[in-house]
Each structure stands twice: as C-alpha cells, then as structure tokens.
Amino acid sequence: MNENASSENTVLSDMEITGSLTFKGNLSFEGQLSDGNITGENLFVGKSANIEGNIKAKSLRVEGTVVGNITVKGKCYFAESAALTGDIKSSSFVMAEGAAYIGQMEIGPDAEQLKPKQ
C-alpha cells in the first residue's frame, strides 16, 4: 500500500452515525451524523447529508445541512443547496447564491488572531 497516496472514503446516504468520525485523505459524506464531530483533511458534504456536530477539516465543500461549528484551515465553500446553523472559522470562504447561513464567522489567514481585544 502506498502511504503517500490520498485515500478516498465515502459515507453513503443510507448510513447513520452517532458519535464522532475521524478520517485521512478525502471523505464524501452523504449520510447522517448526530452527537459527534467530523475531523479530517478534505471533506465533501453532499446534498443528502445532515450533520449535527462540529466539523474540523483542511478543506470543505458543503451542499447539505450542518448544525454545528466549522473550522477549516484552507478553503470553505458553500454550494447553493448548503445550509449551516453555527459558526465558521476559515482562512477562505465562498458562499453561492441560495445557500443559507445563520451564525458568526471569522474569515482570513489569521482569523484566530484578529479577534477584537476585550
């Protein structure tokens, strides 16, 4: 097995996960997740996905529904079918017309350091 090759993983729409999920490489998530988090590298959240939990990833594309907070080191993209209720921290964020978002965001390469002094 080539350890340098990026792995491709899929969670199908008929799968329901209770708890947390950690992955390496790429994950296409079409299922349901509750009471947990998703942590990994490159995450695609498909149209049929419904996630109730936090997401931490290197890159993220969302087409489904997420209720929870999102932290992305690289690019975070919301397609027109995406819906998020929660906060976003990302170095880059793109939201297509039609996507829904309720929450707060910190966007920029140094988003963590840009918080106002209290």
Task: List beta partners, residue 46.
Answer: none
In sequence order, the 6+-apart residues with CB closer than 8 A to the CB of 83 are 64, 65, 66, 99, 100, 101
pLDDT of residue 109: 81
In sequence order, the 6+-apart residues with CB closer than 8 A to the CB of 21 are 11, 33, 36, 37, 38, 39, 40
User: What is the helix, strand, coil percentage profile of the chain, to 5?
Assistant: 0, 55, 45
pLDDT 10s digits, 80-117: 999 999 999 999 999 999 999 999 999 988 765 555 45
| CA 116/CA 53 separation, integer angstroms | 27
pLDDT of residue 5: 53
- Cα distances from 62 to residues 56, 101, 117, in angstroms, run 13, 11, 32
- Cα distances from 52 to residues 1, 49, 95, in angstroms, run 34, 10, 20
Mean pLDDT of 41-66: 97
